[in-house]
Chain A
Amino acid sequence: MPTVVVMDVSLSMTRPVSLEGSEEYQRKHLAAHGLTMLFEHMATNYKLEFTALVVFSSLWELMVPFTRDYNTLQEALSNMDDYDKTCLESALVGVCNIVQQEWGGAIPCQVVLVTDGCLGIGRGSLRHSLATHSQRSENNRFPLPFPFPSKLYIMCMANLEELQSTDSLDCLERLIDLNNGEGQIFTIDGPLCLKNVQSMFGKLIDLAYTPFHAVLKCGHLTADVQVFPRPEPFVVDEEIDPIPKVINTEGDEVGTGITDDNEDENSANQIAGKIPNFCVLLHGSLKVEGMVAIVQLGPEWHGMLYSQADSKKKSNLMMSLFEPGPEPLPWLGKMAQLGPISDAKENPYGEDDNKSPFPLQPKNKRSYAQNVTVWIKPSGLQTDVQKILRNARKLPEKTQTFYKELNRLRKAALAFGFLDLLKGVADMLERECTLLPDTAHPDAAFQLTHAAQQLKLASTGTSEYAGYDHNITPLQTDFSGSSTERM
């Protein structure tokens, strides 16, 4: 997931830190030192993640747009000037804009705010922002919570005592609260020195930037893999199951499971390139066959593996995670019910690969697939009546369709208790009967009269004639081609 580093470059960051050594350090040096450590960690363990660098004082500036080039970020750290006062709100608004423009509102981002705990004075100071928080209108909404899934990590170049001596800590805590509790505040333990800054950033790395190593298994074929971006824990149902689901980190899942592994993937060197790797085999075959592999990530959590190619020639093995649950894709059915084709009586894919057991059809069709009757708009009713009328005029050729439409209307009218309609349509059919031209087939008149009579009976609502499952059947006549005796 992308990271935005928001660095405070206000004057207060130039406050010197008393160190025993000869060199004089400022807080911003400590901050730069910590960030260097973070960037180095990411360059080795997170090389596919994007990071941006924003500096702010009373104004903000995007120093480095989202990049995977950690050298650029590193360089920018050493080229920072000192500016005026801290104005956090505008910087956070800036972060909102940058992230939304780049990734939209659905991609989760981590925001690392590096500051010294001096929150500015007067307008634009955090105190001022928080004091006016309740009086915001839509146009000048406070930027928190961020309009995208986020974690806000506040790295304070100050220790706890210093922050507690003012209300700084309270203000920063409010920030986290405003971000729906998503985030954490880090402070320096003990005196301000390089070592303690390192340990603070170490904590951040442990919390938010641990690389995701796993083992991809297919029976006895296995490969160590690292996954970018790191899959995050997921809460399925905050009430029933409030503990976030994480990808299985232990256990010996047989088959398409993923388990954790301690082996360091970074030893990928010349030799590693020449040792056969299951991922490459799998990728190649998935690509050639145009298939995807289902991968199990934990109990009731699945995903799929496939070959993804960008516009160029490069392609790689990609894993997409489904939403945890027993049935993430309805047209595949329950994942647990997927079994090997060898257990089936005959190959469901056909001998020549010409069919597929998927997609599964739902038990009940959706309304748009089952010709439901809706008469809320008059046009719906009119169309249905017209259909009957049009078929009535083409009797006896259209006898079947005529009765099908008639019965459909009858059923709906009975369910809606709309008996007047049945009477009305009966009258209409009787009138049609009188309008039949001389050339009309004699059967037409019989069928129209019969249908009208049956509708009238149904419109009385008596159970004998108004049964929902009862269908009006065509009158058997000599003309209808059957050999039965005329009644």
Chain B
Amino acid sequence: MKIFSESHKTVFVVDHCPYMAESCRQHVEFDMLVKNRTQGIIPLAPISKSLWTCSVESSMEYCRIMYDIFPFRKLVNFIVSDSGAHVLNSWTQEDQNLQELMAALAAVGPPNPRADPECCSILHGLVAAVETLCKITEYQHEARTLLMENAERVGNRGRIICITNAKSDSHVRMLEDCVQETIHEHNKLAANSDHLMQIQKCELVLIHTYPVGEDSLVSDRPKKELSPVLTSEVHSVRAGRHLATKLNILVQQHFDLASTTITNIPMKPTFSVFDQEEQHANTSANYDVELLHHKDAHVDFLKSGDTHLGGSSREGSFKETITLKWCTPRTNNIELHYCTGAYRISPVDVNSRPSSCLTNFLLNGRSVLLEQPRKSGSKVISHMLSSHGGEIFLHVLSSSRSILEDPPSISEGCGGRVTDYRITDFGEFMRENRLTPFLDPRYKIDGSLEIPLERAKDQLEKHTRYWPMIISQTTIFNMQAVVPLASVIVKESLTEEDVLNCQKTIYNLVDMERKNDPLPISTVGTRGKGPKRDEQYRIMWNELETLVRAHINNSEKHQRVLECLMACRSKPPEEEERKKRGRKREDKEDKSEKTVKDYEQEKSWQDSERLKGILERGKEELAEAEIIKDSPDSPEPPNKKPLVEMDNPPPVEKSKGPVSLLSFWSNRINTANSRKHQEFAGRLNSVNNRAELYQHLKEENGMETTENGKASRQ
């Protein structure tokens, strides 16, 4: 596939000279009288379109089909030529729609038959066409910018479709020579310009059109290479519907389209309000609708022979259409799993009644399965028509055997035997992490563009920092009481209200512990009754701390939640405390470092925790291990001052406004405690409330003690 092939840029050059005002001599009856009202009235005389009208409506039809199937990256530039060239639009994507072109054409109006034919010529348009092909499109510009030093890979090719009334074969030759020469000149200009690109390849499609009934003065000529840059072909076509048919064939050739006819469409005569009067009351015939789409939608039909026809552009082959039968719509979507492609469509006869019935049916959200007509009885569904967001797509459904058939069950693989996954919770997680389009660009604080998808990934990262996969691995996520905290702590930033809610949650837990409420601790794999109640609470507090700690670097408010948690969490019984005291001493040393504990550490801790959870669950060492691991963060025995205050003095003075319950509480404890003892020497000499302990050891052994302390914790 090439994005910048000839079909990236199409220039229409339509002759607007006086002779184009001539009639095409094909009459249209427009005054169709309804039988019962028309006695004695002679219908108005039929009218006929001018060559100009035929040319314009055929080229609009070409554009309509192209825009339907390729709304992007296939561009049209419309030029009208008389005494000069009128360029009706530009290559920009905003200019690429029928409304714009129609409005511009209305402004030009039909050719003036009384203008001086001598000063009018199609040549002006052709010269302008070459000029416009040298202009860079926004897609080319974007690709060039993206490729940087490889910018020369971006091709510049294009097609000029010229509809005119030529005088003779030699006149045609003259037009070709003119294009050839102009390309040569403009390529020279483009070579020295940053805004222009040289034309590498140009396909000139000259269409000579003449009134029906006249002899053509110009002969057809298949595609011929005039120079390495220019190829040219000549079509001599009668005006009227012949011209429209020709352009329909060309649009299929130029954009690799194929045709599918949907047959057997059941249609009630009452579908269309407007046409009621024309309908015979009891016609309920089956209709056919022809659709165009990219030929890849027929890939399964291309038998070995057809795929290799290559460039042979036999006209007949484009008349071919593949007929598929309408199947009554079903809701069973199982076939979609084998959908191998979806292709935009355009109806050939867009506003005929059957076409608009079919398209409206699809646009209203219903789907139609299409069946291959087969001689044998078997029914093969090969395609499906369905719309997405106001666009209709032809979906290719694989009708052969699937290589994905009979997949093994997921329960046979890794983790398949585990039965207590938090399926519902993860469903909730997924719903919270759903995606939505952000079409307007947003900017970060530093002014760089914010990519919504990156935001989504950041959120996933935050939300999964602590996320146990199975129910028996967690306590807090099985507790309704923790939900208010767990749901907000993962956020990037917290509001005051969020913090308050978290604190309330913690107080609530403290309350539960005081009342000795049971906890939903998993007893899977444990012998006996499982851990004791106070042990259960310690496990719960530890887990909650892990969750909160995973987020303390998000914001200062997260930090406050941790402070609250640390201040409130239950205190281990004294005897255990005494047992561990020896170890504790060492641990206290890296306490100061730990306050700025980075996330990595936390993560590895989590992992080891998780692993332990799996491997050692139920073993008695588990409880002990957790206590040991966790000891640095556990509060000191009650007769001592709580450690938290040493590390993290609550920001009492800082916070403006009403004093929070936490700070009120901490302050009280502070003052109460300070009365009971003499101030530590260390605190008196501290910098920012931090004092280095055991400085003499450091002087002797360097950092070793700290290292050891750490190692013993692992």
| A interface residues with partner B (beta carbon < 8 Å) | 1-2, 48-50, 66, 96, 100-107, 138, 141, 143, 145, 147, 218-221, 223-224, 229, 235-241, 253-257, 265, 268, 272-286, 288-289, 291, 293-294, 296, 308, 310, 313-318, 329-344, 348-349, 353, 357-362, 364-369, 371-383, 385-387, 390, 411-412, 414-421, 424-425, 427-428, 431, 435, 461, 466, 468-469
**Taking A274-B417, A289-B430 as contacts, is the C-beta distance between A368 and B356 under 8 angstroms?**
yes
Determine whether the beta carbon of B106 is less than 8 Å from that of A411: yes
Please, which residue of chain A has its CB at the minimum distance from the CB of B307? A147
Which residues does chain B contribute within 8 Å of A280, judged by CB atoms? 410-411, 413-416, 418, 421
In the complex, identify which listed stretch (B191-199, B222-230, B342-350) lies at the interface while the others stay far away. Answer: B342-350
Which residues does chain A contribute within 8 Å of B48, judged by CB atoms?
420
Q: Are A103 and B400 in contact, CB atoms less than 8 angstroms apart? A: yes
Q: Give the contact-size bracket for chain B.
A: 35 or more
Are B410 and A317 neighbours in the complex by a CB distance under 8 Å? Answer: yes
Closest to B272 in A: A383
Q: Please tell me if the beta carbons of A415 and B434 are within 8 angstroms of each other in the complex.
A: no
Given contacts A359-B388, A368-B68, A373-B351, contact A240 B154 (CB under 8 A): yes
Whether A103 contacts B452 in the complex (CB less than 8 A), given A359-B389, A364-B97, comes out as no
Query: Most chain-B Cβ atoms within 10 A of its Cβ — which of A66, A272, A317, A468?
Result: A468
Which candidate, B57-65, B210-218, B578-586, B637-645, is the interface stretch facing chain A? B57-65
Question: Given the complex of chains A and B, what is the CA–CA distance between A416 and B388 in angstroms?
Answer: 32
Residue of B nearest to A313 (CB): B409
Contact, CB under 8 Å: A390 / B32: no
CB–CB A417/B437 < 8 A: no
**B340 lies within 8 A of A106 (CB):** yes
Q: B438 — nearest CB in chain A belongs to which residue?
A: A339
User: What is the bound-complex CA distance between A474 and B303, given in angstroms?
Assistant: 59
A245 to B431, CA, bound (A): 32
A218, A238, A340: which has the most chain B beta carbons within 10 Å? A340
Task: Considering the complex, give the chain B residue whose CB is closest to the CB of A229.
Answer: B403
B433 contacts across to A, CB distance below 8 A: 340-341
The answer, yes or no, to whether B682 is at the interface (CB within 8 Å) is no
State whether B67 touches A107 (Cβ < 8 A): no
Can you name 22 A-B pairs with beta carbons within 8 Å? Answer: A48-B408, A141-B305, A219-B463, A237-B2, A240-B154, A273-B415, A277-B414, A278-B469, A280-B411, A281-B422, A308-B407, A318-B337, A338-B453, A339-B436, A340-B459, A364-B97, A369-B363, A374-B64, A380-B352, A386-B278, A417-B108, A435-B37
Shortest C-beta distance, B365 to chain A (Å), equals 10
Binds A, one of B262-270, B391-399, B498-506, B527-535: B391-399
* A-B complex: 6 closest residue pairs judged by Cβ atoms: A277-B415, A255-B457, A339-B452, A359-B389, A417-B110, A219-B464
Q: Is the CB of B464 within 8 A of A221?
A: yes
On chain A, the residues within 8 Å of B407 by CB distance are: 48, 308, 310, 314, 316, 318
A315–B404 alpha-carbon span in the complex (Å): 12
- Interchain CB contact under 8 A, A147 and B303: yes
| Residues 1 to 29 of chain B near chain A (Cβ within 8 Å) | 1-4, 28-29
Taking CB atoms, residues of chain A closer than 8 Å to B704 are none
- Pairwise interchain contact A283-B410, C-beta atoms closer than 8 A: yes
Chain A min CB distance to B344 (Å): 8
Contact A365 B2 (CB under 8 A): no
- Say how far A411's CB is from chain B's closest CB, in angstroms: 7
B300 part of interface (Cβ distance < 8 Å)? yes
Is B64's CB under 8 angstroms from A469's CB? no
A374 to B406, CA, bound (A): 50
Q: Which residues of B contact A329 (CB under 8 A)?
A: 388
**How many Å lie between the Cα of A344 and that of B470 in the bound state?**
31
B684 within 8 A of A: no
Partner pick for A282 among B105, B153, B426, CB 8 A cutoff: B426
CA A235 to CA B67, docked complex, whole Å: 25
A240 and B147 in contact (CB under 8 A), knowing A48-B407, A221-B464, A374-B64? yes
B residues in contact with A66, CB < 8 Å: 401
Of A105, A256, A367, A386, which is within 8 A of B302 by CB? Answer: A105
Selected from B147, B351, B405, B430, the residue in CB contact (under 8 A) with A380 is B351
Residue of A with least CB distance to B396: A106
B460 touches A219 (CB 8 A): yes
Interchain CB contact under 8 A, A331 and B57: no
**Given the complex of chains A and B, what is the CA–CA distance between A362 and B398 in angstroms?**
28
Q: Do A339 and B64 touch (CB < 8 A)?
A: no
Once A220-B603, A254-B460 are accepted as A-B contacts, the answer to whether A358 and B350 lie under 8 Å apart by CB is no
Residues of chain B within 8 A of A105, CB atoms compared = 299-300, 302, 307
Q: Which residues of A contact B56 (CB under 8 A)?
A: 415-417
Indicate which residue in B352, B411, B418 contacts A276 across the interface (CB closer than 8 Å). B418
A463 to B653, CA, bound (A): 76
In whole angstroms, what is the CA distance A345 to B394 when docked?
Answer: 35
In the bound complex, residues from chain A placing their C-beta under 8 Å from that of B408 are: 48, 314, 316
Check B102 against A106 for contact (C-beta < 8 Å): no
Whole-angstrom CA separation of A369 from B44 in the bound complex: 33
Q: Name the residue among A296, A343, A359 with the largest chain B CB count within 10 angstroms.
A: A343
Q: Give the CA-CA distance A1 to B473 in the complex, in Å.
A: 40
Within 8 A of A (CB), among B457-471: 457-465, 467, 469-470
Report the minimal beta-carbon distance from B292 to chain A, rounded to whole angstroms.
11
* Smallest CB separation, A361 vs chain B (Å): 5
Q: How far apart sit A390 and B549, CA to CA, in the bound complex (Å)?
A: 75
Q: What 1/0 flags go to B348-374 for Cβ under 8 Å of A?
A: 011111011001000100000000000
B181 within 8 A of A: no
CB within 8 Å for A415 and B102 given contacts A338-B435, A338-B452: yes
Cα distance, A329 to B395, chains bound together (Å): 13
| Contact between A424 and B435, CB atoms less than 8 A apart | no
- The reply to whether B436 and A344 contact each other, CB–CB distance below 8 Å, is yes
A335 and B453 contacting across the interface, CB-CB below 8 Å:
yes
Q: Please, how many angstroms separate the alpha-carbon atoms of A154 and B697 in the complex? A: 73
Interface residues of B in 90-115 (CB under 8 A from A): 97-99, 101-103, 105-111
Q: Which of A239, A255, A310, A390 contacts B274 (CB 8 A)?
A: A390
- Do B350 and A331 touch (CB < 8 A)? no
Name the residue on B nearest A253 (C-beta): B457
Q: Compute how far the CA of A361 lies from the CA of B455 in the bound complex, rounded to whole angstroms.
A: 24
Report B-chain residues with C-beta under 8 Å of the C-beta of A364: 67, 71, 97, 99
Tell whether B451 is near chain A: CB-to-CB under 8 Å.
yes
Contact A102 B400 (CB under 8 A): yes
List CB contacts (< 8 Å) of B152-201 with chain A: 153-155
A453 to B431, CA, bound (A): 61
> B47 touching A362 by the CB < 8 A rule?
no
